[in-house]
């Protein structure tokens, strides 16, 4: 008989493979196969109802609709801005008053001829803010009293997810823009914000079009680390450990118990 299949070795072999299977079960409980489309964030919209307004945000749908939708491209449970007129659609919320920090998120445009703005301000209606935009000529712009190209001019393409990170410091009077992980330089604020306490996404009023947002992360959120939204994370749909993992644990404990009882030495 082949040595590995001898009676005295069978328990060792079973224990070894149970141990490997147990590791696999624990890992699969946290990470599923690539392609689940879930990107974590302070707001990732994973638990929001489809075709509803996003939880914890105020929306103005004068120019169209803002809804949680199932998917677009490689991202699931996202926000869609569908501008059907040349008026504004706005999604905004107050944030923790912050002198310096980071906001990052994903954005996607269905076209390159429809403007979409991101504004972080010292007060919702304040004239002290940072403003970055995807303009209607396929370029990124910022506004400090005058509409300008980014310090490193950058364009965007339709139907492509873009990661944007904004590092701001009100004391120094500047913010740095990163697009897909690459710094595009430091930009000046419009006005002189003391601390940022309001965040807003809005369409521009020159045309109709569709834009998407996903996985918004705030550096002051204790449950979020900057960079978390760069990687898909696919949690188990079963709270706690999955039934597969529980079965693995039981089988492993029983097998190890049998092994110890027989006092088989490796």
109 and 139 in one domain? yes
Please check whether residue 25 lies inside any domain of the structure: yes
Span 259-265, mean pLDDT?
56
Range of the domain at 22: 3-32+236-262
Total domains, the chain:
2
201 and 106 in one domain? yes
Span 208-232, mean pLDDT?
97
pLDDT at 68 over 50: yes
Rounded CA Rg of the chain: 25
> What tens digit of pLDDT does each residue of 7-30 get?
555 656 565 665 665 565 555 554
Position 7 scores a pLDDT of: 54
**DSSP designation for 53:** P
Please check whether residue 42 lies inside any domain of the structure: no
Distance CA 2, CA 223 (A): 53
**Over the chain, what is the mean pLDDT?**
86
CATH label of the domain that carries residue 103: 2.60.120.200
> What tens digit of pLDDT does each residue of 93-106 get?
999 999 999 999 99
Residue 89 token pair:
């659609």
Residue 158 token pair:
């339709």
Position 234 scores a pLDDT of: 80
98 and 194 in one domain? yes
Q: Is 245 in contact with 235 (CB distance < 8 Å)?
A: no
């Amino acid at each position: 008989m082949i040595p590995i299949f001898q009676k005295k070795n069978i328990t060792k072999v079973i224990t070894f493979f149970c141990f490997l299977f147990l590791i696999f079960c624990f890992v699969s409980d946290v990470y599923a196969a690539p392609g689940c489309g879930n990107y974590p964030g302070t707001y990732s919209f994973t638990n929001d109802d489809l075709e509803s307004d996003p939880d914890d945000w105020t929306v103005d749908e004068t120019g169209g609709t803002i809804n949680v939708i199932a998917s677009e491209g490689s991202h699931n449970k996202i926000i869609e801005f569908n501008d059907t007129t040349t008026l504004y659609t706005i999604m905004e919320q107050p944030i923790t008053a912050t002198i310096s920090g980071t906001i990052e998120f994903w954005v996607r445009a269905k076209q390159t001829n429809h403007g979409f703005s991101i504004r972080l301000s010292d007060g919702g209606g304040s004239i002290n803010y940072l403003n970055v935009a995807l303009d209607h000529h396929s370029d990124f712009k910022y506004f400090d009293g005058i509409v300008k190209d980014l310090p490193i001019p950058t364009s965007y393409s339709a139907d492509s997810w873009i990661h944007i990170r904004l590092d701001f410091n009100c004391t120094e009077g500047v913010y740095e823009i990163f697009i897909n992980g690459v710094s595009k330089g430091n930009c000046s604020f419009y006005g002189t914000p003391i601390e940022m306490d309001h965040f807003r996404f809005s369409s521009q009023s020159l045309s109709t079009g569709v834009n998407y947002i996903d996985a918004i992360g705030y550096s002051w959120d204790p449950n979020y680390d900057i960079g978390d939204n760069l990687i898909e994370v696919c949690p188990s749909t079963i709270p706690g450990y999955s039934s597969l993992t529980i079965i693995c644990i039981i089988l492993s404990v029983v097998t190890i118990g049998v092994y110890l009882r027989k006092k088989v030495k490796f």
